[in-house]
Amino acid sequence: MRVQTVRNIVTGTAFAAMASGLGGSAAFANELTGFAMMPANTFAEGPTSGQFAGAGAGANALPLLNKQPVQGISAVLAGPTDDSFYVMPDNGFGAKTNSADALLRIYALKPDFTVWTRRGLRGSGTVAPVSFRSGRELTSFSADSFISLSDPNRRLGFTLVSDMATYPNGDNTIPVDPSIRANHLLTGSDFDIESVRLDSRGHFWFGEEFGPFLVETDARGKVLRSEVHLPNVVLPGSTTTGTEVMSPQNPYLGSLTPNLRGSNGFEGMAVSPSGRYLYPLLEGTVTGDDAINGTVFKNLRISKFDTKTKSYTGETWLYELEADGTNIGDMTAINDHQFLVIERNGVTATSTSGTPFKKIFVADLTGVPSGGFAHKTELVDLMNISDPHDLNGDGQTVFTFPYVTIESVLILEPSTLLVINDNNYPGTGGRDTNSDHTEFLKIRLDQRLDVARDCHGEDDDGDHEGHDR
C-alpha cells in the first residue's frame, strides 16, 4: 500500500515532536473544535416521499406526507455567507427502485457550532435553514432554502419520472405528483447524485452512480445538456472490456453486461483550483482492474474531465483502498495535485463484528503518470479525535465518528476541516438503534495543508506527471 507519513503533505517542522508526545499517534493530535447536530427528523416542504421505501425504521414511519427529508448528505460546498453551507442529499432512500418520489436538491444551512472559549462552552450545537441566495436565517426548510434539480428543456437522453403518469416503483399504480410533472423535477430514480462541484462559470456539476454520469446544471439546478457518459479507458495491466463504464442501473445498458457494480459510481469528485477540471472518483472497481495488481475490489479510478471542452481528457489514475477499507465517501481538492479522500468500511458502533474504519487520506498525484496509483497519506482517523472539552456532550475526551457512511469533507482553513455524515434516513445503528442524526464536525489539524491560495486561471493544464513542488 502506497502510504506515506504526514510530514510529506503538511507545512511546518513540528510533526516529529508532536507524534512522540502522543505515543506516535499523529491522528490523535487532530482536535474536535466545533460540533453541531441536525436531528434525523428534519424535513422540507415538498411532495409526499418514502412511499416505496418500506415501513420506516428507528420509530420513524414512512411515508412522509407532503414533505421531503433533509437527509443523506453526500456533498458540501461553501454557502452564501462565511458561516453557511450548501449541502446535497443523495437520491433519497438508497435505490433506484424506492426513490422515485424523492427530489434531488441542494439545501442551504448554517450550523451554530458548540465551541470552547475562555469562558467555557458557547454555541447551541443546532443547525438552521438559511436562504439559498442571501444566507438569511429561516424558520423552516421552505422553498427559499433550496434549489431542486430539473430538466424543463428535456436535455437528458432517457425517460424521466416526470415523463411518467405513475411512479416506476412499487406496483406502478401511484400517480406521479403533479408538481414533479409540471416542473420536470428530477428524482432519486433518475439519478443517484453523490457529489457536486461548482465550475469557473458558477455552474453545478453533479457526479452520480446510476450511469455513472456527470450532469451539468445552471445555478438554479436546471439541466443544461445531456448527461456525460464515462469512457472505459483500458489501463496498463487491466483486462477490462467495453467502450463505456456502465452500472447495472445504467438506463442505456440494454443487453450489454455491466462492468461496474451497482452503487459504485461517482461517490467523490474534486474540482481544480481554477474551476476548470473535475476529478470524479468511482466508489467501486471497474471489472478487469483487479488484474493490475492482483487485489480484489481495491482499485478505484480517478478520471479527469474538462468543463471547458465538456469531455474527458483520457487521463486516469488509481486510488487503492486500504486493507480495512471498502468504500470511499468523498474527494475534495487541496491544490492542483493533492486531494482529500474519505475512506471507510461498513462497520458502526452497534455492529456485532468488525472494527469501524473511518479515515481521511491525502491522495497525491505528484509525478504519477496516467494509469499509476496515487500516493496516499493518512491525515485523520475519524475514530480517534481529541475532544478535550467534550463538545458533543457524551462524557468522553476522545471523539469517534462511527457512522456507516461519511460522505462530506470541506476545507475551511488550511488547518481546519468540516466533516459531515450521511445518515441514510431513516436508517439506524450509527451510534445506537435510533435513526441516525446528521453531525457536523469542525476538526483542527495538527499541521496546515498546502491549500491553493489562488486560481491558476481558466487554462491551467493541471499537469501532474513530473510536477515538482
Summarize pLDDT for 137-171 with one digit per residue, the tens.
999 999 999 999 999 999 999 999 999 999 999 99
Strand arrangement, sheet containing 398-399 = 398-399, 385-386, 31-38, 438-444, 416-422, 405-413
Give mean pLDDT, residues 172-201: 98
Q: In the predicted model, is pLDDT for residue 113 greater than 90?
A: yes
Task: Name the pLDDT band for 29 (thresholds 50, 70, 90).
Answer: confident
pLDDT value of position 60 = 96
Q: Reply yes or no: is the peptide bond before residue 414 cis, omega within 30 of 0.
A: no
Strand arrangement, sheet containing 311-320 = 266-271, 277-282, 299-306, 311-320
Per the listing, cell 411515508 goes with 63
Residue 180's SS3 state is helix
For the four alpha carbons of 1, 331, 15 and 396, in that order, the dihedral sign comes to: negative
The whole-angstrom separation of Cα 340 and Cα 317 is 15
279, containing H or E segment: strand 277-282
Tens digits of residue pLDDT in 57-92: 999 999 999 999 999 999 999 999 999 999 999 999
Residue 17 DSSP symbol: H
Residue 48's SS3 state is coil
Tens digits of residue pLDDT in 258-312: 999 999 999 999 999 999 999 999 999 999 999 999 999 999 999 999 999 999 9
Strands 67-69 and 405-413, sheet pairing: unpaired
